[in-house]
Amino acid sequence: MTEEIKTGTTTLAMVCKDGVVAGTERRATMGTMIAHKTTKKMFKIDEGLCLTTAGLVGDAQTLARWLSVESSLYKMRKGGSMSVKAASTLMANILNSHKYSPYWVQLLIGGVDKEGNHVYSLDAAGGAIPDKYVGTGSGSPYAYGVLEDHYRDDLTTNDGIDLTVRALTMAMRRDAACGDGIDIAVITKKGYKQLTDEEIKKRKEKIGLTE
């Protein structure tokens, strides 16, 4: 992303052998000011689909609502859930159609469907790239350092939660634009689950991370 649209955020998502794990921190900034400490950057789109957002809050919320509505309409018309690839393609087309007056966002779409477990990274111009693990936002270089070192193809979602906690914690320690807590969602064939603050606290204690 260009300097003009870099955002004070860390989000990430990873493919695990039994599902997908996605995580974000909660801080919103306006320059050097902490504007909000409980910002929602993770959105449940469907039982098998989630969206994480980095960028302008208004743009991110608009796109999350848009994708959620399209997903619901698809289910009503087709009698089944939209695939992860279809959701990513739809969002990529929306972003591409506005690339000359763009939404200032970088998005991650992750989920589980009949074809397996998937994570896609989408840029503001409408590029959509599948990957095993992806990070966005200003704290992502620090998160990537952890992911590159610890990610494995045979990770379970249980392992993925621990890795997400570790990666986000490291990003929050080094990027002042990130902080104020963690949100983590796990998607498996059983559906969508978001961890509570208490569950995340116990995970941090288990792997020896302190504030």
Q: Which residues are catalytic?
A: 9
Phi, psi (deg, nearest 5) at residue 187: -120, 125
The answer to whether the CB of 13 falls within 8 A of the CB of 134 is: yes
User: Measured between alpha carbons, how far is 47 from 192 in angstroms, rounded to an integer?
Assistant: 5
User: Measured between alpha carbons, how far is 195 from 53 in angstroms, rounded to an integer?
Assistant: 18
